[in-house]
A and B are shown apart, each in its own frame.
Chain A
Amino acid sequence: MNNEVKKEIIDVLKGSLDAIKKNDIKFLRDLSNKIINSSSLFQDEDVITMAVMTYSLSKIFERTDYRKYPGWKLFFETTNSSLNGALFSLQNNDVTNFEKNIKNILDVIDKLDNKLKKYIKEAIHDAQIARGSRLYEHGLSLGRTAELLGIDKWELTEYIGKTGISEVREISSISVDKRLKFARGLFK
């Protein structure tokens, strides 16, 4: 992990812990948006995981009704302690333990009661697609984005279609008139 990436992840971890403590959902989402630039640039697995993780947490924490489920306390405490552990590990250049701590958050989901497990898994899946659309927006191709996030091209394509990403002025390379004339010629 290069120093620039490490510094950015440490900032995000500190910010996430602070946001969770203050129940500041918007700040969690802002952190994810901030780290998406580095995700596109460095395409580092840990940065991408953090972008998805913070976005997922913002979605999970905004649903206050999740807190009524019996497994919530376990999820909340594991998330807090694992983020703290990940921060401590990275500050001490221990990338292996950093990754192990982040994995703990994902592993605990399987120990939750069925409903909460289902909701949180869905939130993480949706976050992967949503973050994927941001990588695409930043200039990565559909295939490269799907490859980096380990997500399905079909789902990503449908999600991207519903955003305004293809409305940017650079999307048009040659005129539709020229392209149509060429296409017509193919069938003559």
Chain B
Amino acid sequence: MNDLFFDTSSIISLATNNLLSVLEELKKKFKGDFVISDAVRKESLDNPLNSKKYKLEAIMISNLIKNNIFRIYDNVNSESKTIKLLEICNNIFVAHGKSIKILDKAEVEALVLAHLLQGTYIVDERNIRLLVEDYKKLAMILERKLDTKITINNQNIKEFKSEIKDVNIIRSAELMTIAFEMGLFNEYENKYVNKKEILDGILWGLKLRGCAISSEEIDEILRIERVK
């Protein structure tokens, strides 16, 4: 299967940058579905609908659901695996003999779905990406910032790795770079703004509204894209 499973963090970065319409265009060029879990729906739609500050973004998201750009996956079969994995994740890093709870349920639920349905996980949040791809870096952050020795529960990290195998992750930054490569931002090019500025603007917009990407990584993307 070739579906994209969105975490709330990526939806927030895209929505607050007014980039949700790009998802509609991307969906037309994509063979699978754009999926959100029930918990992600609550966080990205129900919660902001009840606020004033992000109500407009929630309305835009509701439109994507109505138009089947986002498909909601609410199969309860993932619940027990999510709970089990959350327990494992929150008992990997230990300080002063106590496990540090680093994740919440919604973050793990989307990862579990991506794994169960063999899709790709779209997540802008730092922790879950690092846990899947390079857990030692997360341990380094904890150790440096908390200024204390962090030990890793090897049994739990082994179990986590065996539960979550081969989940590929991309961020909103890579997704929008692909949209850029497809020419979905061409209409913005004019005598004031060239391609490089458009891509730079998109990537910095995403970074400044929550996508965990460094300025070095943004420069690297601009170099790869060879935009002028």
Contacts and interface: CB of A to CB of B under 8 A. Distances in A.
Interface residues of A, number: 43
A108 B183 CA distance: 57
Interface string B153-175: 00000000000000011110011
Given A139-B145, A172-B217, A173-B129, A183 B182 contact: no
Interface string A159-177: 0111000111011111111
Interface stretch (B45-53, B66-74, B75-83): B45-53
Interface string B189-214: 00000000000000000011111111
A55 B142 CA distance: 22
Contact of B8 (A140, A153, A162, A167): A153
A142 B120 contact: no
B39 to A, nearest CB: 9
B118 to A, nearest CB: 13
Contacts of A147: 104
A52 to B, nearest CB: 18
B65 interface: no
A174 B145 CA distance: 22
Interface string B113-131: 0000000100001111110
Given A41-B95, A170-B141, A140 B127 contact: yes
A144 B171 CA distance: 19
A180 B103 contact: no
Contacts of A162: 208
B43 to A, nearest CB: 6
Contact of A166 (B2, B54, B100, B126): B126
A43 interface: yes
Given A41-B96, A154-B54, A177-B220, A184 B214 contact: no
Which secondary structure characterizes the binding site on chain B?
helix
A183 B178 contact: yes
Nearest to A166: B212
Looking at chain A's contact residues, the main secondary structure is helix
A42 B95 CA distance: 9
Contacts of A174: 133-134
A40 interface: yes
Q: Find the residue from A143, A168, A174 having the highest chain B CB count within 10 A.
A: A143
Contact of B174 (A143, A160, A173, A179): A179
B100 A173 contact: no
Nearest to B100: A41
B37 interface: no
B181 A173 contact: no
Contact of B210 (A4, A138, A157): A157
Given A141-B107, A170-B130, A152 B212 contact: no
B98 A170 contact: no
A183 B170 contact: yes
Nearest to A160: B210
Contacts of A137: 145
A47 B132 CA distance: 30
B106 A138 contact: no
B147 interface: yes
Given A154-B47, A186-B120, 13 more contacts: A41-B148, A138-B145, A153-B47, A154-B12, A154-B48, A157-B12, A158-B209, A170-B141, A171-B214, A174-B134, A176-B220, A179-B171, A180-B178
Chain A to chain B: the 9 pairs with minimum beta-carbon distance, closest first:
A143-B104, A157-B210, A173-B133, A141-B127, A139-B142, A170-B137, A173-B134, A161-B210, A138-B145
